[in-house]
A and B are shown apart, each in its own frame.
Chain A
Amino acid sequence: MATGLSAIFMTNRAALLRFLRARGAGEDAEDLLQDMWMKLEAKDLGPVTDPLPYLYRMANNLMLDRYRSSSRRERREQDWAEGAGGVMADPSEDIGVDERMILNQRLNEARAVLRDLGPRVELVFRRFRIEGVGQRLIAEELGVSLTTVEKDLQKAYRAMLLLKQKIDTE
């Protein structure tokens, strides 16, 4: 690891460990930090513009992966317990016609929800969530304040998450 990342990692080891613990890693925090170190060693990353935020993001992503795999496992175990059968097919594969219709219907619902939020909110949400543009840049592009963009995003997120909850309980 020829970049300054290793130095930054060592300097901020304690802060990163504290973050992982706060993030819910518990006793595994040290191990996760070790994983991060291995990953940094294995990959020859080019120069990183903001090394410390980069390391934090990496730690955060580790925790998100952990959460996702544990909730997948729980779901599998639950399915098993409920006698869903022995074949654990990946639901994303092989989408049937019925399911495709449902998917299309959901897309239409989402479209309607976004449309009802008004054009600016929809635009802000798309720029942020789909195209991955930062809020500061979006505010500049639209000539509105950062606060406006933040509020628009919260509004859009709330509506989309409620839609998701509704879909999940259907």
Chain B
Amino acid sequence: MINEEALGWVIRTRDPEFQDWEAFTLWLEANPAHAPAYDALMAADSDLDNIVPEEPVIMPVAANDRGPRRPLRWIAGGAVAAALVGVISVGLLNRSNIYSVTTRPGETRTIALDDGTRVELNGGTTMRFDRKDARFAALDAGEAAFTVRHDAANPFRVTVGDAVFEDAGTVFNIVHTKDATHIGVSEGKVVYNPDAEAIALPAGRALSDDAQGLRLMDVAPGAVASWRQGRLVYANASIADISQDIGRSLGVTLTAAPGARAMRFTGTIRLDRDPARFFAQAAPLMGLTAVRQGDGWLLKEGPAKEGDGPQN
């Protein structure tokens, strides 16, 4: 038998926001049997650690009341937890069958949607899909390459923050970090915010949206989503952006020193699973030095000094 009142107090006092300890005191004082009942249930609760599976599971979410679409802040938190234990976290959105997929830094994953569209997730990425609507995808954070089966009557749309990208028969890549969104198109055409700006991006065009506003630029179609081939290809990209790409692709914590962040790089960097080997080759290419810093790496301006660079 479970003491329902005691269970209520177990749940209440376990809440990180619980405040009403005076009421709890009164309940305890009401009957000397209350404290042992509470203790027994709290002990049982802590034993649950041994039997509750920690991994999040894919879960269809029941249709909900109609109402304003809520910003799904919790997905970010869920993604962190998912990243610790596995790949797939739970998603929810009103009136649909949303699920989310998270990759750990350094891990890639390919999602095949029912309509023949393929989405390749780079490391450190969180996306949402709809089980009932294969034409919907949302990139919440990270980087993904899309190979879309085109259907003019029912276009494929990717939601990225407040922006929407609509395909017009396309292979394209999107990077979404907390300060910037960048899309490169390698085949076909993508329309940015079709219901507002409606900027058409044909193959070989790229669009950036960051603190400086919207910018359009050229990109080599072969360079788009080159991370899938183990390469990162840049034309005049900032080290700040490049270091985020590297961190995501290799699964390393990488910071760029202020002086290095503003520098720009044009060229191809070959990815390598071994961070020491990778930085030994890539940092001089960018005119930088990489030094190990705790669990991560730091990119600094200038060539390596004696005994400063990564040792092989």
The B interface, classified by DSSP as helix, strand, loop or mixed, is helix
Report the interface size class on chain A.
Answer: 35 or more
Interface segment among A16-24, A30-38, A39-47, A81-89: the answer is A16-24
Minimum CB–CB distance from B20 to chain A (whole Å) comes to 9
Contact B15 A143 (CB under 8 A): no
Contact digits for B15-50, partner A, Cβ 8 Å, 1 yes 0 no? 111110110110011001001100101111111101
Q: A67-B43, A120-B61 are in contact. Are A107 and B70 (CB under 8 A)?
A: no
The reply on B56 being an interface residue by CB < 8 A is yes
User: Do A143 and B56 touch across chains, with their CB atoms under 8 A apart?
Assistant: no
Contact B18 A131 (CB under 8 A): no
Question: In the complex, A52→B21 CA distance in Å?
Answer: 9
| Closest chain A CB from B91 CB (angstroms) | 10
Query: In which size bucket is the chain B interface?
Result: 35 or more
Bound form: Cα–Cα A127–B2 in Å:
23
Residues of B within 8 A of A160 (CB): 48, 51-52
Q: B135 CB to closest chain A CB, in angstroms? A: 24
B72 contacts A by Cβ under 8 Å: yes
- A53-B18, A131-B77, A154-B11 known; A123+B92 contact, CB < 8 A: yes
Tell me if B81 is interfacial: C-beta within 8 Å of chain A: yes
Residue B236, interface by CB 8 Å: no
Sampled A-B contacts (16; CB under 8 Å): A18-B29, A22-B25, A23-B28, A63-B39, A68-B46, A119-B60, A129-B14, A133-B77, A135-B11, A141-B72, A143-B64, A154-B11, A161-B45, A161-B48, A163-B51, A165-B44
Residues on B lying within 8 angstroms of A by beta carbon are 2, 4, 7-8, 10-11, 13-19, 21-22, 24-25, 28-29, 32, 35-36, 39, 41-48, 50-54, 56-57, 59-62, 64-65, 67, 70, 72-74, 77-78, 81, 90, 92, 94
Q: A141-B73, A167-B51 are in contact. List 17 more A-B contacts (CB 8 A).
A: A19-B24, A23-B35, A53-B19, A57-B18, A110-B53, A119-B90, A122-B59, A128-B11, A129-B14, A134-B17, A143-B65, A154-B4, A157-B45, A158-B2, A161-B7, A162-B2, A164-B47
